[in-house]
Amino acid sequence: MSGMLDISGVTVRYGDLVLVDDVRFSVEEGEWLMICGPNGAGKSTLVSAIAQSAPYTGEVLFEGEPLRQMRPRQIARRIGVLAQSNVALYAFTVGEVVRLGRYAHRAGFFGGRGGRRGDPEPGGPGYDDEAVVREAIERTGLVPCERQSILTLSGGELQRTFLAQVFAQDPRVLILDEPTNHLDLPHQKQTFELISEWLRQPGKAVVSVTHDLNLVKAYGSRVLLMNRAHIVAGGAPDEALSPENLQSVYGMDVHAWMQKLLSHWS
């Protein structure tokens, strides 16, 4: 137990229902951990617990420190979350939404610019909020619509805006819950490329819930297969997604199905 993120004995209950049952695993620096499994396996609940937005028992440790005991700002500097979808209501600009990512790096109550308090900034002294925001907007290709209202964006652009926000937030671990669910193929590809590029920075890790097993294989460095609140298999993609494992979890011959789908392309 000495990963960047250690999940030990995490259980989530909803009434009598056990959604996540005594799950334990670690996340190492530089890896993209994919969590797969059928609907209702408890994947989303598990990542919510890791992100501290769902009540759980057990511990989630970041570099040995329990996240549960940290203030929201401290958590946000370590863990970033890209939600499945976001609904815009007010006409904030893309720039404003992205800039909100810097919230956790600003000083406390009166929100002075660039001030610091509590534990050190990830970037060390001389860390420049505006430069980080700038970079996030450029990295995601949002420069042309920086001043555009989020109400006028397409679904893909809106998702990219929130991706830029979480880049600006500059967390150590990025948690994604089916981030490309509503997106068309080019946007799907773009999002995964952007994230894998982000992951190349030192000291980062990605944990994501992904349904599409092709994407899991293409981008994942490790896979956790979940079923009925438990992790039933874990390891390198090819190993964890073995025909036997998939058969037992999904109740079908996934391999044959994929082959059949691909055969139409030749």
Partner 1 sequence: MVERGRYRPVVWVLFVVATLAAVVVCLSLGSVRVPLPDAAREVGRFLTGRPAFDKTVWSIVVTVRFPRVLVAGLMGASLSVSGCAMQGLLKNPLADGTTLGISSGAGLGAVIAIAFGIQIPALPFAGTTIMAAAFSFLSLLVILTLAYQIDRSLSSNTIILLGIIFSMFIASLSSIIITFAGEKAGTILFWTMGSLASTTFANAALLFFSLLVFGGILLSMRRELNAFAIGEENALHVGVDVKRTKLLVLISVSALTGICVSVGGTIGFVGLVTPHMVRYLVGPNHLRLMPAVLFGGAIFLMLSDLAARTLFSPRELPIGVVTSLIGAVIFVNIIVAAMRKVK
CB closer to partner 1, 93 vs 242? 93
Pair of tokens at residue 179? 């981030």
Tell me how far, at minimum, the Cβ of 161 lies from partner 1, in Å.
Answer: 10
Three-state secondary structure string covering 77-98: HHEEEECCCCCCCCCCEHHHHH
Q: Which residues, 112 to 151, sit near partner 1 by CB under 8 A?
A: 130, 133-134, 137, 146-147
Residue from 68, 71, 117, 260 touching partner 1 (CB under 8 A): that is 71
Query: What is the contact mask toward partner 1 in residues 155 to 174, using x (rule: CB under 8 A)?
Result: -------x--xx--x-----
Q: Quote the CA–CA distance of 174 and 142 in Å, as a whole number.
A: 20
Torsion region of 178: left, alpha or beta (phi above 0 gives left; psi -120 to 50 gives alpha): left
Residues 6 or more apart from 228 whose CB is under 8 A from it? 40, 41, 42
Residue from 21, 29, 59, 96 touching partner 1 (CB under 8 A): that is 96
Q: Which residues, 172 to 211, sit near partner 1 by CB under 8 A?
A: none
Q: Which residues, 15 to 34, sit near partner 1 by CB under 8 A?
A: none
Residue from 42, 101, 179, 220 touching partner 1 (CB under 8 A): that is 101
Contact predicate 190/218, CB 8 Å: no
Q: Quote the CA–CA distance of 136 and 19 in Å, as a whole number.
A: 35
The closest alpha carbon to 61, from 23, 4, 118, 22, belongs to: 4
Find tokens 């490309």 and name the residue: 180
Q: Which residues, 40 to 59, sit near partner 1 by CB under 8 A?
A: 51, 53
Q: What H or E segment, with its residue span, contains residue 175?
A: strand 173-177
Residue 231 pairs in a beta bridge with 226
Q: What is the CA radius of gyration of the chain?
A: 19
Among the residue ranges 72-80, 195-203, 205-213, 220-228, the one whose residues contact partner 1 (CB under 8 A): 72-80
CB closer to partner 1, 43 vs 102? 102
Residue from 15, 69, 90, 125 touching partner 1 (CB under 8 A): that is 90
Tell me how far, at minimum, the Cβ of 108 lies from partner 1, in Å.
Answer: 10
Among the residue ranges 22-30, 33-41, 87-95, 246-254, the one whose residues contact partner 1 (CB under 8 A): 87-95
Among the residue ranges 84-92, 117-125, 223-231, 253-261, the one whose residues contact partner 1 (CB under 8 A): 84-92
